Structure 1
């Protein structure tokens, strides 16, 4: 009797397994992998059938399958076998926008090739490729869309867009040549992205991975080569923060920023750790932390990063642009906060030619009345071209309070070559080592409107002709200890206010270098 029960139970499980959760091959629903036939309807039918019968995997066999928008369903995973290519249609009219919104430059966007809205337990996996054919799509679009390119690009589709989805797994696939952002995750939870390859260049706005107000995200062991930002955290809505995020083991190349938070920044960025990444040949910032639309950026740690040929290694900005991206759902936020950030164990080779001429390693600035607080820069090694002059050291940097936060916003040059910090409180600069290819007459560090500053165990290279190695402007409660200075200047420390509290001890300087300017005498 017991044997019979076991047999019947096993038989029932087999029947259920055959009825639900079976793999679904798109060719069984009429998909043709000839690189010509539009397969949107056939692929969608396969996805719908898979979902209706309990979920499972929708299989893309080897072949080149052209499609417009396809919508994922809960409990469905797309599996692209080796040799399988999902090709985006080059006709913009084959795409749908299931969740419209406005991005940071004010353009209406949201169309996508693969899209999922309000789903659970979904994924994309395999050794195949999703190719948006962005350049070909753009070439077709401009034949009938004569708007300026700055407006026209928003109509082009993202490659992958997931909205309010939970338990998402993206593994193994290649995501190539999107017509706009490559992958956008909006208000998603429990997201894992691992072992993927992104190559997305050829048209503007080719972001790699955009994490927009998502929680419990793990990104690892992936390679991104993008025309725009490679890994970008956004909050285009004030409803949900980017939080509980762990990133490691990425290789990043970018036409803009490699690791970026903002510019869209309405809800918080918090409890985020990024480590063990390699950044190379990047044109507009290695690490960029930007909150300008009201976000609270807090408890972020970035560590063990190597940069090679990167224009402007680090930019940190708290501003008051205060844009709204979903105007029918949201309202303008007050100026945010940027606090409790650690950037440590960074080795950067800055590009000789950058947005700033001559280049600067690290830019940090809040706005008047809103200080960046408790920022720790530790164990950072930066190689720079040098070449700054005394005249460059007197450059006034615009506040640009409500402007788009970009390196060039504060150019054309910065008066310090190593670290320039303005509107800061609780800044710790620990074991920062600067290296120069050419002489510098700008200070290594400038702190302006600053208090509770610590500069310790840093190494400054041989230079001549500078007025000061460290310049303090409107600064108070500053500690400068145990630093090593190989160059000469008018003084080691320059202070513009004799009432400022500045302590210094244990610094190693050449004998001819005066320790401090005459303001404190």
Structure 2
């Protein structure tokens, strides 16, 4: 009989099974993990409905409905949980709403919760740690909606929460608010269901110290204000089908010291989303980077516009960032398609050291740059703070180009500044690698849109090993070489690579060649290997067997 062929149970077998069931341990520790009780934040809750109009809300756009909404929230919480429902109408909110555990705000189609120009929002609370981050990150009470240490809360649509152009993009004065949602130390947050956050002031949504966050079909429009969604010191996050259009950063992952501790971040998935950022970064790590970040999966993302980085990652305040994976991402009109930088700002409590970036992969990435252009860059600090273990597979970039010939010496760098402009004009129109170890490019290319560019396509300065396999570059008519290697102590390898007309690549600079398999060894590759296993498991969960 085939080992997987089922047998009919016999009477003896049934008796033995019953006997075994009687003697099985019954403690929680012996319960299989799949059968253990779910955390409270994942348990189904009773969903009685609390209509805000039953608590005195008018929904006429002129009456202040804040107190009525707070009453409905308190009633839902006192009942053990429920849904606070906003039927169609415009609900003016002059006061801060105070969220409570086990409560979901549901805004029906045609319902808008709107900020007021005559705000009486809660004053920003004192924070003894506000020296370590910007004012907006340090104070949480001054928001349209605030909550701390809550469990099992939600905000669902298809209605709108709109600051109405009345929230502040700078530091608020008494009675003013600078964010729509301000949530700290929450466990179990749902944000989506078609809901829209609009005109959020400094932040449409800021969460800090939270865990178990789920967002599906969320729209944020802060293109006339500042940030979209700041996810700070938060773990176990899944974001799907988000559309975020921001003026400042669209979707950004940070870790600051606002809660008086250096907190961890990670186990995050973002897929099938659309992002844009007028002035700044579309999908970003930092600049606040106190606690470590690990296990991030980004897939199926479209970025349309970013005046700084499309995919940005900086460690400025001592964080180790590792096991981060980007896949199936398209970018247009980005000034800096990809930037990784380690800096020395160290703006965090507990006297941090310089941080580290390692184990990052990019697969199937396409980007078109815009002027002013910042060449895609990996910039590590010296010593143990090199960027380590980064792989690029099927990464195809088109940058503006148009620069003349220039010195191929290392550009200047402001180590305490996180912006792409903190490094002066790179001497390569394509990739500039500085103090980066175990970097590989496979089946990738870089081109320029202008008639010419006088710089090489790639320069690697310090670090190594670095390897290029089936790498295609456009040759600048006045460039001294195509790929330059400057003091790359770990060696370099170029194989099966060519320019866009099929010619051989010109190699320049100093350094040593190596066997084209040798670059696969070293500490950085261990991070990449571990990360690849996580990524494969993640893709298997999303798509079936890889």
Q: Which one of 163, 176, 182 corresponds to residue 184 of structure 2?
A: 163
Unaligned 5+ residue runs, structure 2? 1-45, 518-546
In 2: Cα distance, 1:504 partner to 1:153 partner: 61
Once the two structures are TM-superposed, the CA of residue 83 in structure 1 deviates from its matched residue by 0.7
Structure 2 partner of 1:200:
222
Change (3 A) 1:112 1:251: same
In 1: Cα distance, 2:403 partner to 2:502 partner: 15
Structure 2 partner of 1:371:
386
Q: Describe how 1:431-446 pairs up with structure 2 within 5 A.
A: 431-437=443-449, 438-446=451-459
| Structure 1 residue matching 2:422: 3-state secondary structure | helix
Q: Describe how 1:87-486 pairs up with structure 2 within 5 A.
A: 87-97=114-124, 102=130, 104-105=133-134, 108-110=138-140, 111-134=142-165, 136-138=166-168, 151=171, 156-171=177-192, 172-203=194-225, 206-237=226-257, 238-255=261-278, 256-324=280-348, 330-351=349-370, 353-354=371-372, 356=373, 359-360=374-375, 362-369=376-383, 370-391=385-406, 393-394=407-408, 396-401=410-415, 403-411=416-424, 413-437=425-449, 438-476=451-489, 477-486=491-500
Change (3 A) 1:394 1:33: same
Once the two structures are TM-superposed, the CA of residue 130 in structure 1 deviates from its matched residue by 0.1
Q: Paired residues, what number?
A: 458
Once the two structures are TM-superposed, the CA of residue 109 in structure 1 deviates from its matched residue by 3.5
Once the two structures are TM-superposed, the CA of residue 383 in structure 1 deviates from its matched residue by 1.3
Cα contact 2:453–2:479 (8 A) shared by 1: yes
Structure 1 partner of 2:30:
none
Cα contact 1:462–1:488 (8 A) shared by 2: no
Once the two structures are TM-superposed, the CA of residue 30 in structure 1 deviates from its matched residue by 1.1
In 2: Cα distance, 1:243 partner to 1:286 partner: 20
Deviations 1:86-134 (A, max 9, x none): 0112245423446856474466542211122111111011210000123
In 2: Cα distance, 1:66 partner to 1:197 partner: 21
Change (3 A) 1:150 1:83: closer
Once the two structures are TM-superposed, the CA of residue 490 in structure 1 deviates from its matched residue by 12
In 1: Cα distance, 2:294 partner to 2:178 partner: 29
Deviations 1:445-467 (A, max 9, x none): 01011221111110012432211
Once the two structures are TM-superposed, the CA of residue 239 in structure 1 deviates from its matched residue by 3.2
Q: Describe how 1:502-513 pairs up with structure 2 within 5 A.
A: 502=514
Change (3 A) 1:441 1:487: farther
Change (3 A) 1:231 1:91: same
What TM-score, normalized to structure 2? 0.79
Cα contact 1:59–1:81 (8 A) shared by 2: yes
Change (3 A) 1:113 1:490: same
Does residue 65 of structure 1 match 2:80?
A: no
In 1: Cα distance, 2:382 partner to 2:152 partner: 46
What TM-score, normalized to structure 1? 0.83
Structure 2 partner of 1:23:
49
Structure 1 partner of 2:82:
56
Cα contact 2:197–2:221 (8 A) shared by 1: yes
In 2: Cα distance, 1:435 partner to 1:65 partner: 52
Unaligned 5+ residue runs, structure 1? 1-19, 139-148, 325-329, 506-521
Cα contact 1:464–1:488 (8 A) shared by 2: no
Does residue 84 of structure 1 match 2:129?
A: no
Deviations 1:227-259 (A, max 9, x none): 111110001135322211010011111121111
Deviations 1:271-296 (A, max 9, x none): 01011000002211100011110111
After TM superposition, the structure 1 stretch with the greater mean CA deviation from structure 2, 461-470 or 287-296, is 461-470
Deviations 1:455-480 (A, max 9, x none): 11100124322111111111122111
Cα contact 2:475–2:482 (8 A) shared by 1: no
Once the two structures are TM-superposed, the CA of residue 435 in structure 1 deviates from its matched residue by 2.3
In 2: Cα distance, 1:414 partner to 1:93 partner: 49
